[in-house]
Amino acid sequence: MPASRNFGSHLPDYASPTSYNPSEDLLQHWENEKLRIVTYPHPALRHKSKPLRRVDAELRAIVREMFELMYASRGIGLAANQVGLPFRLFIANLEGEPGEGEELVFINPVLSRPKGTEEKEEGCLSFPELYGPVKRPKQIHVSAYNLAGEEVSGTLDGMLSRVVQHETDHLEGVLFTDRMSPLAGQEVQDDLDVFETDFLSRRATGEIPSDAEVAASLAEWESKYC
């Protein structure tokens, strides 16, 4: 989820190396290996994630990279399948700033005991600049594991309750637009059409892999961690 609807387009600047010139091949390799946030209607967003069986140094590095991506995109929550990974894992930091707030990692989350209902505006890093009202339980109980393998559980209210429900939906392949009322859904339909047209044209240029390639990549990660 993004921090608010008023985020700008500012991204952190990265100093370019001056004394070292990596080869084109190496640059291309880094570019290919980097995690990216996928946008609607990328098929990874409809993938039902499998429970994670293990956590290793590579997975910790992936989670670190997810936090950096989330901060750069002005977000407060990000699910693994939003970066093309099929794990039941998501991250959150309600402050949305590195060095502020608490960095939370939820592995294999289970939600229970929903109470009350509340409608609030939501957004999603996979739907840049699209916002709409979503009705959800006000309070929820979550139990999950953190990166250290410790079980964490608690009853959540307010923004964290909403973020945890939004991100757990992602792990089931459910998107916030699915949960909008028919009227709110109609209001965002034109924007969804634009996302779809853009996706098809980026796929036509080869920038976005085919469904078969996405499925193969998800299956490879699953065989390694799930």
Interface residue list for Zn ion (CB under 5 A):
124
10 Å CB burial of residue 36 (0-12, 13-18, 19+) is: exposed
Candidates 24, 103, 167, 196; catalytic one: 167
Cβ closest to Zn ion, residue 161 vs residue 223: 161
- The amino acid occupying position 205 is T
Cβ closest to Zn ion, residue 121 vs residue 151: 121
Q: Quick one: which of 133, 112, 111 has its CA closest to 122?
A: 133
Q: Please, what is the minimum distance in Å from the beta carbon of residue 128 to Zn ion? A: 11
Q: Please, what is the minimum distance in Å from the beta carbon of residue 127 to Zn ion? A: 7
Q: Find the residue with minimal CB distance to Zn ion.
A: 124
167 belongs to the catalytic site? yes
Cβ closest to Zn ion, residue 123 vs residue 225: 123
Buried b or exposed e, range 65-78, using 16+ CB within 10 angstroms: ebbebbbebbbbbb
* Chain CA centroid to CA 81, Å: 6
Q: Please, what is the minimum distance in Å from the beta carbon of residue 69 to Zn ion? A: 13
Give catalytic residue positions: 167
